[in-house]
Amino acid sequence: MCVVGAGYVGSLTAITMAAQCPAVHFTVCDINQALVSKWQKAVLPFYEPQLGEYFEKATAQGNLSYTEQVEAAISKADVVFICVNTPPSKPKPFEKESLGLKTDMTAFFSVVRSIGKASANLS
């Protein structure tokens, strides 16, 4: 199982599932080396109730790992969760903010392309 995105959503998802499913390995990958490094050193970058307990359980079980090697992690996975940032895009100078903002899907489409590359290499 691969979770792309080591932020709040991706890490909480992977940690919770890893703690509850010891027979399945979860690899969390992210291009943010500083964030991955914190997780690898067991320095939790944010607080959530019981996160520390679940993290310790998953790491003790040995079924949770973090890496910056996104494409390598994707290529080894049977399932990929995409948990990357999709912030609102900035309005153009002539747009009024009250009209609503579009979602910036840059990071999402980058992951989709990586999944495509990894899938093409499987055949």
Domains of the chain: 2-120 (3.40.50.720)
User: Could you read off the pLDDT of 87-110 as tens digits, one per residue?
Assistant: 887 766 666 654 556 788 999 999
Instruction: Determine the Cα–Cα distance for residues 109 and 96; give it in Å rounded to an integer.
Output: 26
Q: Kindly report the number of other CB atoms within 10 A of residue 11's CB atom.
A: 25
User: Could you read off the pLDDT of 5-48 as tens digits, one per residue?
Assistant: 999 999 999 999 999 999 999 999 999 999 999 999 999 999 99
Mean pLDDT for 103-120 is 91
Q: What's the whole-model pTM score?
A: 0.88
Share of the chain above pLDDT 90, in %: 79
Tell me the three state secondary structure of residue 44.
Answer: coil
Tell me the three state secondary structure of residue 47.
Answer: coil
User: Could you read off the pLDDT of 39-80 as tens digits, one per residue?
Assistant: 999 999 999 999 999 999 999 999 999 999 999 999 999 999
**Where is 118: in which H helix or E strand?**
helix 106-120
Instruction: Determine the Cα–Cα distance for residues 29 and 76; give it in Å rounded to an integer.
Output: 12
Q: What is the mean pLDDT of the chain?
A: 91
Which phi and psi (to 5°) does residue 78 adopt? -90, -30
pLDDT at 95: 60
